[in-house]
Amino acid sequence: MLSLRAISSFSWRVFRFRLFGCEPLISQMDKCTNEEQVFDLIEENKAIISEEEVGCAFNILWQFQKQNTGLLKSVEYIKNHPQFLTLYNLTTNKMEFMNDDNLVNVLYCIQQFAVEPHDPLVEALVTEAWRRLERFDMNVLAKFSTCLADQHLYFSPLMGKIADIVSRNLETIQDLRSLSVLMVSISSLTSQRFQKQLVKKTELLFDTIDSSQVNTARRILQFLRNIKYSYYPLLERCNKVFLSNMNDLDLDTISKIFSLYHSVQFNNFEFILITKKRLTEMIPLFDQPATFVKLFVVLGPMAGPEEKKQLESSILLISEELTSQDALAVIGAMEEMESRNLRLIKKIASILHKNLENYKPIELLKITHSLIVLHFQSKEFFVKLRELLLSYLKISVKTSEISILVSAISKLPSPHLDEVGISRIEAVLPQFDLNDLNSFATSVLKWIQYGHVYPDNTTGKQLKLLQKIDHYGHQRLQKYNNLNSLWAEVKSLKGDWFSESLLEETIATLQRLVDGINYTNVAGIAYFISRTNYLNTLLLDKIASVVLQQIEKIHPFAIFPIILPFSTLNYDPPQRDEFFGTCIQHLNSYLSLLDPLRLVFLGFFFATLEYFPEDLLRTIFNIKFLSRLDSQLEILYSTLNRKVQFRLMELNRAVCLECPEYQIPWFHDRFCQQLYNKDIGSLNGAQQQIYKMLAEVLGGANCVKASALTPYYHLLDFECILDKRKNPLPYGNHNVTLGKMPQMHWESNTQIVGSSLPPGAERIALEFLDLRAFCRNIPHLKGKSAMKKRHLEILGYRVIQIPHFEWNSMVLSTKGARMDYLRERIFGDGKS
């Protein structure tokens, strides 16, 4: 065997000598078919090899590596080859004679072969490139910026110099490929003004690129992710590039695109549907753990029941081969998939358990969250995880890390933090922004809730810590004089602490900086207000005004969050019809492009505001659209799936009742019957009180019906009937157990109620309105409750709404006062 190898080697050398003897060395290297042939040429010509040939050798070696499936092993082998050292030494001696392109290319290739950033040659190449920086053309500058990014030098003075060069030459740059590379590299050093210039330049150059340039589109997406800017016009154009090249996208590229889309909160139904089909076809093709895990992570959350079962079975088969990072990726995907595969959950948890010490704090937070969501139970696991988190907390000095660790500890079963942990938080509080303070406060509230379980009596210290968090939160809010800076911190705030401690001051600060609202932030601020349930007419009027004045600069996708606070809070701005009309007009050309679920929600938002745009409704209530919606529902997680179906039903009901002239049919009987056949809750304490008193006021339990269903399936707290003399009419036999839903008997359910009553009689709907029915700051009825009242009146009911703040007031603190209140509301004359 060894003899054969020797003969083969000798034959190659003789053949190469005859073939290449008179050819230039670069031509000889171009004809090599593997790395060994390149190294042989270097060995034989090292005395005469030029700087250009050194660059060519590095380039060809790297091209071979890109085609090699065993990349890591090959990189190590090449880097340790004797002739690689020869190239290394030749580069050291000849770098100053290399042209710009060759110099940067050699640096790039050397880094790809895992030569460390602190290696003397790498440092020398970077220094030489820095010396020539101003004369680099954009292609060379782009590649050099990638080399610096690979060394994580995003904030270095050298990267700052590159950003300055790009800024000064932006108008003359015509190559979007090079610009996209530079944008990603310098994104951490760009001001908001510069970011807008880069985005505008990208838009201008986008049509100059070939539609097959997937990598350029991906880098543009990466830049938008880095600067946290969901700029829809560019996102859409990038998405079109991906769709037109779907057959050429591999698993790795699809995975990166999905990750970027998630970061910029961009969803495209068509892209998801097509990639789901393509990825499903890939399931049988991958048997290596690393690649199958990547497929599992991307496909799992959008897979149908059969595909999920197949994926889970396959991952279980290879579970013994999974690395710690594989297990981390799988458990995150299982959370998104809402997996209930207990065997697989336990198996992945066992891998995580073995490797807990190897995970970073942010990874431990992900593990904690995923396992809690998946209802995993293991005292041994969580005890070890808790000990690990606490040990990290005691030694951590990074504020971001401390915030992550505290959040992870608070998510554990029976969360608790000792005095050492509390002191650790107190020491760093002044350094934290509002998001971190909010996270801390949420954690402290959980610890206080569970404080009685632990004997160390830390509850008092936790309350003091909460007070300090309040103090720093208010202090931070008061310092803001710029809306964009404020907005960067408050946009994701939510939770009990924020609502109780900071919400009013946050709204007041937004109102103080109201002139800063413009087309770039109006959608985000509108969405934030809708989440707070806080009605501030000045802010909403400003939002409407900005939309009317700057509608051409607002992307149609942004109409969705803009309308939301008006719908949720039941508020009509000045120039109501002009405002809603402008929004709808802006949307009309995009109706066929919007995701089906987004259109359903938009239709519902407008319906709560008594606004029924015909073009939008005709688009939704269309067989083709509903078929697309069904396809999308298949890839949504169960909670969102149910929410979309319910909103479609509510929209269908609203259109049938409020716009009968559109002649849109009611087609939700079966859905509603299935919905109300399930256990949908019970009467709460206040409702049970009211039920008993109504029975007394009306003369018996057979004169009041609890949990009654109306035509079109509105669920009432209580219903009663009065004849024309205002005497209660008894119902037939219907036994109601307090706190339980009555049994339903189904029939056609669209008849107006008055048609089945004696002449002059009226049917009354009584609704107890808890705090969820009203705006947080004033007793103003929110959109859904107002719409329900309209519908009941259309159906022929007299509607009596009992607000919680009236029922629980001091005036109605006795049973007698409450009985009189009910008599007055029902009979209007104090009749007993």
Cα 578 to Cα 580: distance, rounded to the nearest angstrom: 6
- Token pair in block for residue 745: 């008997």
Q: Write down the pLDDT at residue 100.
A: 92
CA atoms within 13 Å, Cβ hemisphere of 712: 22
Residue with the larger pLDDT of the pair 375 and 451: 375
Q: Which residue, chain included where needed, has tokens 């849109």? A: 664
CB-based contacts of 11, cutoff 8 Å, min separation 6: none
- In the predicted model, is pLDDT for residue 167 greater than 80? yes
What whole-number distance in Å separates Cα of residue 483 and Cα of residue 152? 31
Start-to-end CA span in the chain (Å) = 111
How do 762-769 and 797-803 pair as beta strands?
Answer: parallel
The model's confidence at residue 452, banded by pLDDT at 50, 70 and 90, is low
Residues whose CB falls within 8 Å of the CB of residue 643, separated by 6 or more in sequence, listed in order: none
Query: How does residue 737 score in pLDDT terms, banded at 50, 70 and 90?
Result: very low
Cα separation, 292 vs 240, in Å, equals 27
Q: What is the pLDDT of residue 830?
A: 44
Give me Rg for the CA atoms of the chain. 34
Would the pLDDT of 201 be above 60? yes
Q: Which two three-digit tokens encode residue 70?
A: 């065993």
Residue 239 has pLDDT above 90, yes or no: yes
Cα–Cα distance measured from residue 667 to residue 750, given in angstroms and rounded to the nearest whole number: 11
Mean pLDDT of the chain: 88
Rounded Cα gap, residues 355 and 49, in angstroms: 50
Closest CA to 361 of 395, 337, 333: 395
In angstroms, how far is CA 83 from the centroid of its own chain? 49
Between helix 459-478 and helix 419-428 the angle, nearest 10°, is 10
**Which strand ranges, in their side-by-side order, compose the sheet holding 797-803?**
705-709, 715-722, 762-769, 797-803
Residues 802, 774: contact at Cβ < 8 Å? no
Q: Which residue has the higher pLDDT, 18 or 261?
A: 261
Provide the b/e sequence for 178-193 (b: ≥16 CB within 10 Å).
bbbbbbbbbbebbeee
679-699 pLDDT, tens digit per residue, is 555 777 788 889 999 999 999
Q: What's the CA gap between 804 and 802, in Å, rounded?
A: 6
pLDDT greater at residue 394 or residue 19: 394
